[in-house]
Amino acid sequence: MLAGLLLILLFPAVISAKTVDVVIAGSTEKVQAFEQHHVVYFSFSELADIIGGHLDWELVGHEVTYTQDTIQFSFLIGSPFFKINNNMFNMTYPATFRKGQLFLPALTFTPFLDREIQQKITWNNDRKLFRIDSEYFNVTDLSVSAKANGLLIEIFLTQALPYEVFVTEGNWINVSIRDGKLNRARILSRKDKRYMYNLKAHQVAGAGQVSIRLRRKIGKWHHKLQYDPPRIQISIADTSFVLNPADTQPVIGPDNKIDVIVIDPGHGGRQYGAIGPNGTREKDIALGIAKRLAKLIRKDKQFKVIMTRDRDKTVSLQERADIANKAGADLFISIHANSTTRRKSRVRGWNVFFLAQALNDSARAVAQFENSAFLRDRNAFEIHNNADDMSDNPIGDPVLTILNDMIMTEFQAESYDFAMMVDREFRRSLKIPARGVDQAGFFVLNMVFTPSVLVEVGFISNKQEEKLLKSKKYQQKVAEAIYRAIKRFKAKYEHQ
């Protein structure tokens, strides 16, 4: 009796596991939570799946790191102290480990998270609710383009804001915007090495600043505020500036409407893709889902849908990219099934990828496998046509070098956003493990000039998921989830 009373005094009532709501992009998600000493703890592991970023565990030291873009949080289980990059902070209540997940105090940690990530995040302690608002930004985008007599820089706003433009040593042109809240991820994705050496987007309390280090010397320049749509225009006169035609990119991709969707069923023809334990071929699964998705899109009549293949045939990397680019695609969706070489594999789940440098071994492995078919085809072509010139030029190396140097960043922010939308719809619909949103260098995405994702709809190497992937019901659920994400993307971006 006395021992039981001591336990009650030492460990006050802990409410059994429950959830808190996360409102994002017009929908509501749930993450695990519990309450202790009147403090609500939430699963940061699950929230990270929603907002993006990566958690890494150091089991020996009980240390957990969370990384998003250039920001890194470091937590020590059992301690209220944590680091943001190299600076120490105190969230009052300790980080906690439960059932393989990291739990943090919602009320005291959220302000730190809100200050660092590229979305507005608030916590309502009374309603036990997170609100994540990507429309929080009022400085939304950047454009730099060559004109007949120089450069035109445009910074897009949601409303007219007071600003100041000044030039500093080193050929920097700086725009400081009072009360500006920068969409840093999207602005930084507009870095174009044809015009600039460097691009920075700096957020401080009460202001945002965009700084561009231009390649050409800044001579005469002037600026003005335009209103339809709201944007800051900076014209830099440079009569000697001539854009090398070889550097120009085709005017391809999203216009002010989201209405052209290109669906890319992975592999095909002599490219079987992965093969399951019972002989199921990835190329067949991808085509089945793609056809169902195309049917949904065509039925709605809001979109024009184009498929890179609608039957079992071989389509080269360049052909896939040309189909999308010539169509002026507003979204490009490549459909695949994942695989692992482990015997009797129990690895399961779906992934959604967008194009960027891979951050972990798992993403690198997926990209390596999906890229391998294109490399094999390229190698065969090179060997056939250049048999006398092979000794000094290993086939794979130049391709991988080009990929690393030329990864498209122009639509990286939108691609990531669409990947997150697909992720949320999959979580609602697919009853297999979620492996979340990740990034990697896929050849098939690298040559497409529009927001694009690669979807791995399950592990064909897993017997249970192989059976699921073959089922018409599962294929339909995948197609419907992707379609809902397309409509959400259209609603968000079409009128911006």
- Kindly state the percentage of the chain with pLDDT values over 70: 76
Our CA angle for 378, 400, 324, nearest 5°, is 65
- pLDDT for 254 beyond 70: no
Q: Is residue 420 part of a domain?
A: yes
Q: Is residue 5 part of a domain?
A: no
Q: Is residue 9 part of a domain?
A: no
Domain, as residue range, for 34: 15-135
Q: Is residue 333 part of a domain?
A: yes
Residue recorded with tokens 């409410």: 15
- Answer yes or no: do 296 and 389 share one domain: yes
- Answer yes or no: do 470 and 351 share one domain: yes
pLDDT band, very low/low/confident/very high, at 40 (cuts 50, 70, 90): very high
- Answer yes or no: do 366 and 282 share one domain: yes
pLDDT band, very low/low/confident/very high, at 209 (cuts 50, 70, 90): very high
- The residue among 115, 135, 155 that closes a domain is 135
Q: What is the pLDDT of residue 25?
A: 61
How many Cα atoms are found within 13 Å in the side-chain-facing hemisphere of 147? Answer: 14
- Answer yes or no: do 379 and 464 share one domain: yes
Q: Is residue 255 part of a domain?
A: no
Which CATH number does the domain housing residue 219 bear?
2.60.40.3500
- Answer yes or no: do 106 and 195 share one domain: no
Q: Is residue 8 part of a domain?
A: no
Q: Distance of CA 77 to CAs 35, 177, 188, 197, Å?
A: 17, 40, 34, 41
Highest mean pLDDT among 75-79, 129-133, 366-370, 392-396: 75-79
- Answer yes or no: do 404 and 279 share one domain: yes
- The residue among 109, 135, 161 that closes a domain is 135
Highest mean pLDDT among 21-25, 156-160, 247-251, 278-282: 278-282
Greater confidence (203 vs 109) lies with: 109
Q: Strand, helix or coil at 106?
A: helix
- Answer yes or no: do 117 and 158 share one domain: no
- Answer yes or no: do 102 and 143 share one domain: no
Confidence (pTM): 0.52
- Answer yes or no: do 127 and 109 share one domain: yes
pLDDT in tens, 407-445: 444 577 788 888 888 988 998 889 888 887 776 555 556
Which CATH number does the domain housing residue 34 bear?
3.30.457.10
Which CATH number does the domain housing residue 463 bear?
3.40.630.40
- Answer yes or no: do 129 and 142 share one domain: no
Section 340-369 average pLDDT: 62
- pLDDT for 287 beyond 80: yes
Q: What is the pLDDT of residue 448?
A: 76
Q: What is the pLDDT of residue 342?
A: 62
- Answer yes or no: do 318 and 438 share one domain: yes
Q: What is the pLDDT of residue 103?
A: 96
- pLDDT for 145 beyond 90: no
Q: Is residue 461 part of a domain?
A: yes
Section 137-142 average pLDDT: 84
Q: What is the pLDDT of residue 191?
A: 84
Could you please report the per-residue DSSP string of 89-141?
EE-SS-BEEETTEEEEEHHHHHHHHHHHSSSEEEEETTTTEEEEEGGG-SEEE
Q: Is residue 3 part of a domain?
A: no
- Answer yes or no: do 242 and 326 share one domain: no
How many domains are there within the chain? 3
- The tokens for 279 are 């002989």
- pLDDT for 95 beyond 90: yes
